[in-house]
Amino acid sequence: MSRPEEQVVLAEHPLPETPRGEGDEEARVARRERLRLLSRSKTFLAGALVFGVFVFCAIFGEAVVPYDPLGSPTDILNKLEAPSSSHYFGTDQLGRDVFSRVVVGARDILVVALAATLLGTVLGAAIGLVTGYFRGLVDDVLMRIVDAFLAIPLVILATVALVALGPSKVTLVVVIGIVFAPIIARTVRAAVLSERELEYVQAARLRNEHAPYIMFAEILPNVTAPIVVEFTVRLGYAIFAIATLTFLGFGVQPPSPDWGLQIKENYVILNGGYWWPTLFPALAIAALVISINLITDGISRVFER
Amino acid sequence: MIIFVAAQLLPGDVGRAILGPFAAQSSVDQLNEELGTNRSIVVQYGDWVGGVLQGDLGDSYAFSRPVGDLLWPALKNSAKLALLAFVIVVPIGILGGVAAALKEGRLRDRVISIGGLSATAIPEFVWAVLGIMIFGVWLGVLPTTAQAPQDAGFFTQVKYLLLPALCLVFVLFGYIARMARAGTIESLDADYTRTAYLKGLPRRTVIRRHVLRNSLLPTIAVVATQVGYLFGGLVAIELIFNYNGLGQLIYRAAQRQDFPLLLSATLVVGVVYLVATLIADVLYSLLNPRIRLASSES
């Protein structure tokens, strides 16, 4: 019966509000400082610019491209045309315009990668917070699962899962999200372990706050930096994995103009000298992952100082 | 544990997957009966684990041969390719990392770090098609398949494997260089390095005898963990270069829903990873006098 009493006492003598107010102010200053540093980082800006172009392609691509990326019945008449002013990147084996397909192809990979990484980050952050805060048995079990996941390469693990569940965008998102979750959880857990010993967490406990409140309202805002960095790192890996899986035929399915699929359909005719249907999607993948890496580099430099 | 996860994901109807969508249901049922795939998942899993423990990996559905007969030659081929990639990437990666660390924060460091990370982030199959395009088709200096002719000599084999190995090199370079860089920066800051400078040793000697010896230890551990990831990359590489390795085997098994083969191949990848990690641990303690001495005392 002592607990309600404590609450009453606390209510009569409310804790001074100033420390939290100051904390908010500090956080705002820190956030502004980070943004200022980011806006000065050349690598971050270059990455953001390229990434922005791809996001634009993904959203408005269909409206701006000169041809239908899925092709039209008469396309077959001008198949495998070399790049020219009417087809900037040439045409593929079915006569479809490679430029239009590369532009619109940004959509599937970006949507799937962002969704998968978001799922993995939300799951992973939640697991990391809970295990880091409570520790104990759940913690041990989780770490063993992470070890098991790390022993098998992501692409092979995802291949097994996709073969069993049947390839589709949703399975791709779920499989990659679930594989990422424990890895992200480990990073978040490490951050939580050092946070939970700090005075503000003890203060919250003394205020008799619920565990979920302490985890999500007190600790979570203080571990956002590693979560943001982890998100951008994983986004790069997600694109790597999705492109590879799609190339192998276990990811996004035809007739989507996905880049991995375009390479899969066209690399066999490289030897015949038809390089354009392969080169341009390959360069698109390269540009996208490099841009994400530049963003990651900029963000981790600013957040991990 | 891993096997269990994989076993949970057992593909639906194996008989249907082998015979194709047009086969009669009766023949599908008959095949399932023969293969034992109409039993419950738990029974099949128990059977399989029992077999593995006795050294029997079971028969492949798709190839109608014992899984072991398919696995070992493939593993040998993949090992050749992986070995060549490592022989190339380890010295280059370490050199790059150390070169970057010695100029920390300067242009050379930024170029190597960002270049390495970008090379690492680009999927192997993208490097592969770019490599085929440049070296195979435009320059015509390297073969675009990896399978050397029968009875080819050592150098011919290397020539055929060079392009696929280079693709793996690009992907691995970033990791190894990053670790070598971090290790070197750490030991450059260490007290013993300052002492070495203060006692008047030339920079060259300090770096060789004091910095490198300490900084390269963590790199070894990373090289070992990359052995596991390498096999993920091999799936796409071996497919593109039409090389009969473990990666291609996994790809075919996945395509045909050949459950015993897929499971065993995944198991082999896991075992290779564990062995590599073990070797790294042993090497680490052999090379690090602090661990070696500590364990011999106790």
- pLDDT tens digits along A70-84: 777 666 777 777 777
Distances (CA, A) of A161 to A146, B176, B222, B263: 17, 29, 27, 11
Say if A17 falls within a structural domain.
no
Taken in order of first residue, the domains within chain B and their CATH numbers are 2-53 (no CATH), 67-244 (1.10.3720.10)
What is the percent of chain A with per-residue pLDDT over 70, rounded to a whole number? 89
For residue range B282-298, what is the model confidence (pLDDT) as tens digits?
A: 877 777 766 666 655 54
ipTM rounded to 2 decimals: 0.77
Q: Is B228 exposed, middle or buried (0-12, 13-18, 19+ CB in 10 A)?
A: buried
Q: What are phi and psi for residue B151, nearest 5 degrees?
A: 60, 25
Say if A154 falls within a structural domain.
yes
Question: Which of A43, A155, A296 is the mutation pick for testing B, counting most B CBs within 10 A?
Answer: A155
Cβ pair B231:A156 closer than 8 A: yes
Distances (CA, A) of B50 to A55, B43, B53, B65: 51, 11, 5, 19
Could you give the number of structural domains in chain A?
1
Residue A54 neighbours by CB under 8 Å, 6+ apart: A106, A110, A284, A287, A288, A291
Question: Which of B44, B111, B118 is the mutation pick for testing A, counting most A CBs within 10 A?
Answer: B118
How far apart, in whole angstroms, are the C-alpha atoms of residue A93 and residue A65?
19
Closest-CA distance, B291 to chain A, in angstroms, reads 24
Angle at B229 between CA B227 and CA B232, to 5 degrees: 120
Closest-CA distance, A92 to chain B, in angstroms, reads 16
Task: Find the CATH number of the domain harbouring A125.
Answer: 1.10.3720.10
Cβ pair B273:A152 closer than 8 A: yes
User: Which chain A residues are closer than 8 Å to B6 by Cβ?
Assistant: 160
The pLDDT of residue A6 is above 60: no
Question: What is the pLDDT, as a whole number, of residue A116?
Answer: 94
**Structural domain span for residue A230:** 35-304
Cβ pair A153:B239 closer than 8 A: no
How far apart, in whole angstroms, are the C-alpha atoms of residue B188 and residue B210?
9
User: Which chain B residues are closer than 8 Å to A297 by Cβ?
Assistant: 113-114, 117
Q: Is A254 on the interface with B (CB under 8 A)?
A: no
Say if A28 falls within a structural domain.
no
Residues of chain B with pLDDT under 70: 1-65, 148, 150-152, 289-298
Question: What is the pLDDT, as a whole number, of residue A113?
Answer: 93
Average pLDDT over residues A28-49: 81
Mean pLDDT of chain A: 80
DSSP per residue over chain A, as a string?
A: -HHHHHHHHHHHSPPPSHHHHHHHHHHHHHHHHHHHHHHH-HHHHHHHHHHHHHHHHHHHHHHH-SS-TT--GGGGGGTTPPP-SSSTT-B-TT--BHHHHHHHTHHHHHHHHHHHHHHHHHHHHHHHHHHHHH-SHHHHHHHHHHHHHHHS-HHHHHHHHHHHH---HHHHHHHHHHHHHHHHHHHHHHHHHHHTTSHHHHHHHHTT--HHHIIIIIIGGGGHHHHHHHHHHHHHHHHHHHHHHHHHTSSSPTTS--HHHHHHHHGGGGGGT--HHHHHHHHHHHHHHHHHHHHHHHHHHHHT-
Residue A43 neighbours by CB under 8 Å, 6+ apart: A294, A297, A298, B110, B114
Say if A13 falls within a structural domain.
no
| Mean pLDDT comparison of A41-55, A257-271, B36-50, highest-scoring range | A41-55
Q: Is the pTM of this model over 0.90?
A: no
How far apart, in whole angstroms, are the C-alpha atoms of residue A38 and residue B193?
34
Q: Is A247 on the interface with B (CB under 8 A)?
A: yes
Lowest pLDDT segment from A44-58, A182-196, B27-41, B59-73: B27-41
DSSP classification of residue B142: S
Question: What is the pLDDT, as a whole number, of residue A97?
Answer: 81
Say if A230 falls within a structural domain.
yes
Question: What is the pLDDT, as a whole number, of residue A123?
Answer: 93
Say if A217 falls within a structural domain.
yes
Cβ pair A160:B266 closer than 8 A: yes
Question: What is the pLDDT, as a whole number, of residue A223?
Answer: 87
Length of chain B as a residue count = 298
